[in-house]
Amino acid sequence: MKKIVLFSLLPILLFAKFQVTTYFPLETYIAKYIGKNEIRVKQINNRYLPTKRKISNFDISKLADVKLYIHLGLNVEKEYEDIFKKSNPFIETLDLSKDIKIMDNNPYYWLDPFNLRVIAKNIYDKFCEIDKFSCSFYKQNYEAFLDEIDNTFLNIKEKLMASDVRSLYVLGNYWDYFGKRFRIILVDKEKKYIKLNELSESIQETKNRKINKIIYLKGDSYSLASAISNSLKIKLIEHDPFEEKIFFSLRLLAQEISK
């Protein structure tokens, strides 16, 4: 009788999906790319928010009632990790920044394609640890993800090598990892409007550095970026480092830079 029960449960055990919670769509995209339909994802926010929002105890309980909480290691995500562990002491966590060298005060490491490889490996290893039966399936998806990274890297490199752009103004440090990987000098422009008595010097500096573009964060600082762009006669590039479709986002950034 026990054997019959065990055999009847075996298909359920083999094909049972485990649940994952993520903070925002970028993490969901990568997790689903590797896990596909073998995982079910709960998501805290439908877009990146830099600060923690108030969530009801009921929703916290639902979000914490999973096998694994995946996050990029951002401060706001760690706050939720503490909350989830209080609700569910058995929840496992995966900080995707594991084995990645993080710059001081700069957590936006996923904009370097090489770091995306580490992120993917962290997810793949953890999924295999949790669900050994599906490891070969995860491996197939993981390797496809690596191929996407390689193709994206080569596409970006080709575009930038064909371009004369070597220096850019940026409003913020979001693109430091990208700039370092592709050897683009990023000049962090002070977040202030250029005064009339500073204009001549700023124009000369821009010419000396051969800068003709400024990157700003999508949804933030448009008025300031536009004013600097008009004053210095340089082009605007809007970019969202938290975009869900990371490969599209990186390719588009390279395309805008190389125009």
At residue 16, the pLDDT reads 54
At residue 11, the pLDDT reads 46
At residue 15, the pLDDT reads 47
At residue 221, the pLDDT reads 86
3-state secondary structure of 46: coil
Give the integer Cα–Cα distance in Å for 221 and 143: 38
DSSP label at residue 110 = G
Closest CA to 23 of 7, 55, 1: 55
Give the integer Cα–Cα distance in Å for 202 and 179: 22
Domains, the chain, ordered by start: 2-157 (3.40.50.1980), 163-258 (3.40.50.1980)
Q: Taking a C-beta distance cutoff of 8 angstroms, is the pair 216, 193 a contact?
A: no
At residue 7, the pLDDT reads 41
What residues have CB less than 8 Å from 149, skipping those under 6 apart?
Answer: 113, 116, 117, 120, 247
Residues of the chain predicted below pLDDT 70: 1-16
φ, ψ at 148 (rounded to 5°): -60, -40
Tokens at 251, concatenated: 């390719």
At residue 8, the pLDDT reads 43
Q: Taking a C-beta distance cutoff of 8 angstroms, is the pair 65, 42 a contact?
A: no
**Beta-strand (E) ranges in 116-234?**
167-170, 185-188, 213-217
| Segment 38-63, tens digit of pLDDT | 999 999 999 999 999 999 999 999 99
